Homo-oligomer: A and B are copies of this chain.
Amino acid sequence: MALSKQPYKGTRDFFPKDKRQRDFIEEVMATTAESFGYEPYDGPLLEEVELYLAKSGEELINEQIYSFMDRGDRKVAIRPEMTPTVARMVAQIHREVAKPIRWYAFPNFMRYERPQKGRLREFWQFNCDIFGAPGRTGEIEILQVAIELFERFGANSSQFEILINDRKIVDTVFKDLLLCNDEQTHKLYKIVDKAKKVAPDALQKMVNDTGITESAQKLFFQYINISSLDEIVKFLKSNNKHEVADEFAQFVSEAKLAGLTEYLNFDASIVRGLDYYTGIVFEMFDKHPENRRALCGGGAYHNLLQIFNEKPLPGVGFGLGDVTLTDFLNVHNLMPNFEIPLNDVLVTFQDPNGFQSAMKVARELRKKDFKVITMLEETKMKKVFELADKKGCKNVVLIGTDEVATGKIQVKNTEKRDQKDFNLNDIESIINFLK
């Protein structure tokens, strides 16, 4: 029986058009990160499972991770996320290097998912983290990077927004104001996460089922409906939570100074399940009605290095997946067309003895950084221009019987509709014609 030509479920074959698209995305990501002085890094494809057991969320470990025993009986996993790896790497070097540490990467991950729109088993994810920034400024800068990235893709505040919350606020509201025990807090986290997706009745029932008091329920609904940064500060103050209110007000004030607030809104439903967040948590949303979904998420975490017996180092980071980003760029017409490659010259010969001249001119032009495709057998004149079109070549070289006899080549620029004969050795003149 013949083998299947299709890729493994939930993964993709990147044909040249797809790969150019991914390269474009990666290029914009790298340029943006480097414009803030972030440095590139990467980690291994496999990590020992215990690294994820120590830090990743339950769902990831129990349902999504690709793990197995290696031939030496070590339990390993294909990386499903980058944060544990980056924490492990920072733990190695943080004592010796100047803070803050600014790093970015664009690794691939695997998660055992049911493939659907915006979600695959293998995906790439831009990861950007800052470690050791003073006060709340790391949070500010990470938000800046995320916004700048989307602006560099050509997007603006009519197309995306960032919804933000703070785990300290969530904790204060749930524990101090709603007086939840741990179990109720855990339930409320899940309820809040679904708040926007369920009908008001259903939401009311879920909240009721947690067993919190009626007055707590009332406060909960008040809280969940807050949608501006200033409002949440007011809410906290009016409930006598001045310390948390002041701390968040400080963040809001810096965000204003940094010019971020046109993109930022408060949203109580953003909690982000992963255990490691301790400060702000945020998600970027597509505003397009057909693609109303989270594009990326992140937050601040203070305790990631503890699993390596290192003292705490504050970190802030975000991850942005290539699948949802590609959908975003497509739906907003921000994805350039990569159907046709970009080449410069198609070198052809119409006489079998033209091979050597073709090889020579191609080699010389490549040395001058031209992208040159050589046809490797005689090409009929009528096929030359169709081929040049398909390969994105604006120039063609023709070498017929006359040219072989005289040591010349003919060059045509199909855009300028210009053509000229050149001596094969006069590469400089050929280059001037091509420019």
Contact = CB atoms under 8 A, between A and B. Distances in A.
Q: How large is the interface on A (under 10, 10 to 19, 20 to 34, 35 or more residues)?
A: 35 or more
A376 B41 contact: no
B23 A40 contact: yes
A338 to B, nearest CB: 10
Contacts of A47: 7-8
5 contacts: A3-B308, A15-B89, A19-B40, A20-B39, A37-B373
B356 A112 contact: no
B5 A91 contact: yes
B308 A137 contact: no
Interface of A: 2-5, 7-9, 11-16, 19-20, 22-23, 31, 34-37, 39-48, 50-51, 54, 66, 68-72, 74, 76, 78, 88-89, 91-93, 98, 100, 102-103, 105, 108, 110, 112, 122, 133-135, 137-138, 140-141, 144, 148, 254, 257-259, 307-309, 341, 343, 355-356, 359-360, 363, 366, 369-374, 376-377, 387, 390-391
Given A100-B376, A141-B376, 17 more contacts: A2-B309, A3-B50, A3-B51, A4-B48, A13-B44, A31-B369, A34-B343, A35-B372, A37-B373, A39-B341, A44-B122, A45-B78, A70-B112, A78-B78, A137-B377, A140-B376, A257-B359
Number of copies: 2
A8 B92 contact: no
A15 B85 CA distance: 12
A40 B19 CA distance: 6
